A and B are shown apart, each in its own frame.
Chain A
Amino acid sequence: MSTPVPATPGIHPAPPLLTTSTLLTTSTLLITPARMRASMFRRSLREHPGPVVAALAGLLAAAWLIRYATYGDRHTLSLFAGTWVLGWIVLPLMLGGGRGRVQPSHLRLEPVGSAAAATGLLIAASVGIGPLVSLAALAALPVHAARYGAGEAVAAGVGALLLWLAGLIGSSVALEAVGHAGGPAGAITTGVFTGTVMGVFGSVWAVAPWITSLLAGAPDHVVRWLPYFPGSWPLGAVTGPAGRGLLMLGGLAALVAVFALAYLALVRRALVTGSSWRPRRSPITAGSAPAPLTPARPVSAGWWGPGPVWAVAGRELRTWARHPLRLQYLAFAVVYGSLLAGLPTLAHTDRLLPWAGVLAALGAAAMSAGLIGLDGTALWMPLTTHGGERAEVRGRALAWLLLVTPIALLLTVAGVLLAPGVDPLAAWAVLPAVLGAGAAVPVWVSLLRVRPVPDPRHPTSADNPTDIISVLVASAAGVAAAAAPMAWLIWGPQSPRWPALVCGVAAGVATWFGGAWLADDRLANRGAEVLTAAGRRTRPPETAIPLRWDAGWYRENRATAWALGLLTVGWIPVMPQGLMVLVLDISGGWIVASHVTGGARTAVAVAMVALGGAMLLTGLVLWGRRPRPTS
């Protein structure tokens, strides 16, 4: 029991630390994060065409799903809906969806409870293209259920809404938990998962027959397992007994509740510690013993090798082994390359199997095209050391080679053993060329296009700084290097063919030195510029795009306007007019290829893909050249 303090003349009791006037009201708290998110979203729409393009592509896919719902198979539709929600949860981890997100740590200093904060943050998370497009796509479920009656459509609508909520909250949980999981296990898991998704998409031609039969109707063994898949519950609830239907809707509600509780726990943790998920601070010793070091016992930092190049290589190898995003990239490249080579066996072709190592090396090169940005401004050390620039470039390239070569060799050997009937000479000849290019050219590219992460000390998957142009240039270098041995094999003498191996090694050495020379030159002459770019924690000012029609702006920014137009419209020939005709065999009055048959139909679809690709590439080039404001 507390005893009242008697009032003493001249001494006033201290007022309460917080009064109701200083506390945020609940309604303000729930709405403020959404307002913040809406402001960020409007800004991103003005600055970059990416969200608009993504929205258009997403809406096209959603429209196709709704159309399929009117005539398609229930089980297949359930699979698509569930996969959509799964993609919504996972893809932001791969594509850096955390940028522009209102995060729990932003509210850490505000006087808010975790439940109110979590609710406000989830309302904020519902603002954006992903939630909007997903809601449109999941509308396919009540549309399909309407064939069973109005009540069934309403029930499926409720199920779709619950599924949408599961996606919304699940996505927030993933970004907060997995995206912040700095540990190697979380990073490798993310890399494996995203590599699998991309590998399957990349081998869509091989799995196309399976997709075609899936569109006609899900196979029996899939149908048997489908009831265990939450994506099937909205439609499962309206097509079976009423009791089972209620159970399925209840299951979806329970799933939403579990996700909500998980998110609440993460938000609570973030409000208390500032981070929802941070690896424990732990000393690292040369061995694994965790005992603290004492001055009497000299610290062994391991073997570093002689000279500056090896010092940098040693630093890089340690960083590869410990940096969550690097581990994620490496895991992604290995899985992606393996699946691209292995999945075609589904279509009874094993010709790509020996190429698993080459594809993994190409993937690793592409994913290494932004490494300078990951390291923040740590480049100052070589820049203040005699000969540091050269050592930095060579050391980075050497470390990449030491890391990727054994993996690529292992995958190639495995592929050769699994496909004894395939001549592996081409893969063996191309491998050194790709390794040479992959080691050095990405170093140059990442010095050329520095994309820093917001916090180099604690990067997350959500900070993914992957830059598509850097990825394309790094990949193109590998492909260009591979052209020399391939040309020898195709147009050279048919016997002996082994000089193709020498040609591959020569191409690898040449691209290694070429890339290293370009990177040396860049770092030696523009080191200060690179360092400034690496230290930029906010994006430089971008071209402001008017949201309303402004004839004057379009006259003055013709190239930018063309870029926007091409990037927006270029997807139409690529996707519905091209790939969807080739892969899904769609037809319709506005589909140009529908008006011809046989080989001509394929040719028109391929031409459409080429046309769209050219439009998108031109758009990218024009967008890259747009004038930037000076302040």
Chain B
Amino acid sequence: MDRIDLTVRQGTFHGIVGPNGAGKSTTIGMAVGLIVPDAGRISVLGHDALRDRSAARTLTGVLPDGLDLPERLTGAELLRYSAGLRGLSRAAAADRVAELIDVLGLAKAAATPLADCSTGNRKKVGLAQALLHAPRLLVLDEPFEAVDPVSAASIRRVLRRFVEAGGTTVLSTHSMMLVEQMCDEVTVIHQGRVVAAGPVAEVAGGLSLEDRFVELVGAETTGTDGLAWLVR
């Protein structure tokens, strides 16, 4: 990352987009304390996330991308473990776990070791654990990757209700359509820097977000030339 400056307004749905290797996951990792920046300041809902990590962690729910889970636990066991780790009472944990399993369609994953769950089910279990302690900020890295359309619709509704109730959601994605559908604001990251940020319509500037994105990152879409051996 290179002197990144990113502000997410409270009570909004904020998308982070960028090409592969742009620094989206690194940004999210720094925001939630999984990566330590060399210098700078990170504030989460008014708390210094580098100095006062405890307060920031209590307020944040995280769904990282590509990290392992306690693979020998079933989905339900992972949620119970997460609830215990967060200090929830046994009764509250039982109620919330049952409700999340129901709403997110996790009945099968709840009884299957995570090592044997599909990528989509792992994402859903990961999302459930991020929601479990009722955070005020959700930080989600590629939350819809490999999730089936029906589950994705349910998740979108849950996240929309969360934001409408005053929560804040930050998600990174490669889907411009998702950002256009769901996000109030978007930040485009390229080569470790913010190249555009603001309300989605404003960033798009009258184009589709995808076209504007390609323009912003200065890329030329290739694929029209070469490969004669393939298209003969």
Interfacial residues, chain A to chain B (CB-CB below 8 A) = 281-285, 292-295, 298-302, 304-308, 310-312, 314-315, 318-319, 322-323, 375-378, 380-388, 391, 456-458, 527-528, 531, 535
Contact = CB atoms under 8 A, between A and B. Distances in A.
Contact of B70 (A294, A310, A375): A375
Please name the 4 residue pairs, one residue from A and one from B, whose CB atoms are nearest each other, closest first: A311-B84, A376-B68, A283-B111, A299-B76
B54 interface: yes
Contact of B112 (A281, A319, A381, A385): A281
B105 to A, nearest CB: 8
A293 B115 contact: no
B113 interface: yes
Interface string B98-110: 1001100001101
B84 A314 contact: yes
B36 A528 contact: yes
B160 interface: no
A310 B89 CA distance: 13
B84 A385 contact: no
B17 interface: no
A308 B68 contact: no
A284 B87 contact: no
A274 to B, nearest CB: 14
Contacts of B85: 308, 311-312, 381-382, 385, 388, 391
B72 A307 contact: no
B87 A307 contact: yes
B131 to A, nearest CB: 14
Given A292-B111, A318-B72, A380 B34 contact: yes
Nearest to A391: B85
Contacts of B107: 292-295, 299
7 contacts: A306-B90, A308-B85, A376-B67, A380-B62, A385-B85, A386-B86, A528-B36
A282 B85 CA distance: 26
B232 to A, nearest CB: 11
B122 to A, nearest CB: 10
A5 to B, nearest CB: 22
Given A318-B77, A375-B68, A387-B87, 16 more contacts: A282-B112, A295-B98, A299-B101, A301-B74, A304-B80, A304-B84, A305-B84, A306-B90, A311-B83, A311-B84, A315-B73, A315-B77, A375-B70, A388-B85, A456-B68, A528-B33
B228 to A, nearest CB: 16
Contact of B54 (A305, A307, A386): A386
B34 A528 contact: yes
A387 B55 CA distance: 10
A619 B26 CA distance: 39
B191 interface: no
Contacts of A292: 107-108, 111
B98 A304 contact: no
B138 interface: no
Interface of B: 32-36, 53-55, 57-58, 60, 62, 64, 67-74, 76-77, 79-87, 90, 94, 97-98, 101-102, 107-108, 110-116, 129
Contacts of B101: 295, 299
A284 B115 contact: no
A291 to B, nearest CB: 9
A382 B129 CA distance: 12
A301 B34 contact: no
B68 A457 contact: yes
A385 B84 CA distance: 11
Nearest to A374: B71
B67 A380 contact: yes
A304 B67 CA distance: 24
A308 B58 CA distance: 14
Tell me the interface secondary structure of chain A in the complex.
Answer: loop
A301 B97 contact: yes
B81 A311 contact: yes
A322 B80 contact: no
Contacts of B80: 301-302, 304, 311, 314
A294 B70 CA distance: 23
Listed residue (B55, B58, B77) with the most chain A CB atoms within 10 angstroms of its CB = B77
A299 B110 contact: yes
Listed residue (A318, A382, A388) with the most chain B CB atoms within 10 angstroms of its CB = A318
Given A308-B85, A528-B35, A283 B112 contact: yes
Given A304-B84, A307-B84, A386-B57, A322 B113 contact: yes
B98 A299 contact: yes
A378 B113 contact: no
Contacts of B53: 386
A310 B116 contact: no
A318 B101 CA distance: 21
A153 B81 CA distance: 66
Given A295-B101, A384-B34, A301 B72 contact: no
A302 B77 CA distance: 8
A531 B34 contact: yes
B196 to A, nearest CB: 29
A294 B106 CA distance: 9
A375 B69 CA distance: 8
Given A294-B107, A295-B101, A378 B68 contact: yes
Nearest to B67: A377
Listed residue (A310, A319, A378) with the most chain B CB atoms within 10 angstroms of its CB = A378
A531 B25 CA distance: 14
Contacts of B112: 281-284
Given A301-B74, A457-B115, A377 B68 contact: yes
Contacts of B68: 375-378, 456-457
A385 B88 CA distance: 12
A384 B90 contact: no
Contacts of A391: 85
A376 B71 CA distance: 9
A599 B28 CA distance: 69
Nearest to B87: A308
A447 B168 CA distance: 34
A93 B101 CA distance: 40
Contacts of B72: 318-319, 322-323
B111 A285 contact: yes
A312 B70 CA distance: 10
Nearest to B88: A311
Nearest to B59: A386
Nearest to A321: B72
Listed residue (A299, A376, A527, A535) with the most chain B CB atoms within 10 angstroms of its CB = A299
A456 B114 CA distance: 11
